[in-house]
Amino acid sequence: MHSVSEENYIKAIYHLQDGKHLVSTNDIAGRMNTKASSVTDMLKKLADKNLAEYIPYKGTRLTQNGINCATQIIRKHRLWEVFLVEKLNFTWDEVHEVAEQLEHIQSRKLIDELDALLGFPKNDPHGDPIPDAQGNYEKTKKTALSQLDKGQKGILTGVLDTSTRFLQYLDKHHIELGTQIELLEKESFDGSCLIKTELKEIHISKSIADNLYLKTIG
């Protein structure tokens, strides 16, 4: 059994090391909003438990044990998000912080039964894939709206930013998973975009476009 703090670090490293050989201490400190010295202390603890490899002054990466732990934490988090939306009528902007607390529950039987109750969902309310009991999940190609060319269309399949403020912004403009979006214009100066949904045309910043993942169509 691992502490809440250890699990938070494991999950952070897992997300940061995607496609990287090593994750720097400063990157972890930035993600965890803490000092580099505190990160170093934790990395040594994780290394002692064979959850991570720590190379001083170079960085760290999870061991297979660490990866297995991370995918189970993520599985729990995303299953709880589905449960909160489908069974308790939470909205997609309300579930992240609650799931952050529930993801540390240790009962494997509870999570397996939760998965079955929900019908073994493949994605959470934000479009992210849910690992199965063995930690496997289907990795889908993510295309940010900002990467589309003028005139291209796509279906919103996920969001990168799951903060309450961002999701409330999308709700305000009636943008949700499954919404069809067409890129009408893209400014070369700042990357801002004019998009069209089924309901209206909207000007959005490049930052917003970077956070919307689409499955292109047509």
6 residue type, one letter: E
Any residues with CB less than 8 A from the CB of 99 and at least 6 apart, and which?
77, 78, 80, 81, 84
Strands 59-62 and 143-144: unpaired
Six token digits for residue 198: 């089924």
The per-residue pLDDT for 68 is 96
CATH number of this structure's domain 4-62: 1.10.10.10
Q: Where are the domains of the chain?
A: 4-62, 143-217
The per-residue pLDDT for 1 is 81
Determine the 3-state secondary structure of 92 from DSSP: coil
CATH number of this structure's domain 143-217: 2.30.30.90
158 residue type, one letter: G
Give whole-number Cα distances, 187 to 69, 146, 209, in Å. Answer: 43, 11, 12
Contact between 110 and 76 (Cβ < 8 Å)? no
Q: How many residues does the chain have?
A: 218
Any residues with CB less than 8 A from the CB of 137 and at least 6 apart, and which?
71, 122, 129, 130, 131
Consecutive sets of 10 residues in the chain, 218 residues long: mean pLDDT of each?
A: 95 89 94 94 97 94 96 98 98 96 97 98 95 90 92 95 95 96 96 96 97 91
Any residues with CB less than 8 A from the CB of 170 and at least 6 apart, and which?
159, 176
CA distance 82 to 64: 27
Decide if 4-62 and 143-217 have a common fold.
Answer: no
Six token digits for residue 149: 């060319």
Compute the half-sphere exposure of residue 34: CA atoms within 13 Å on the CB side of its CA: 14
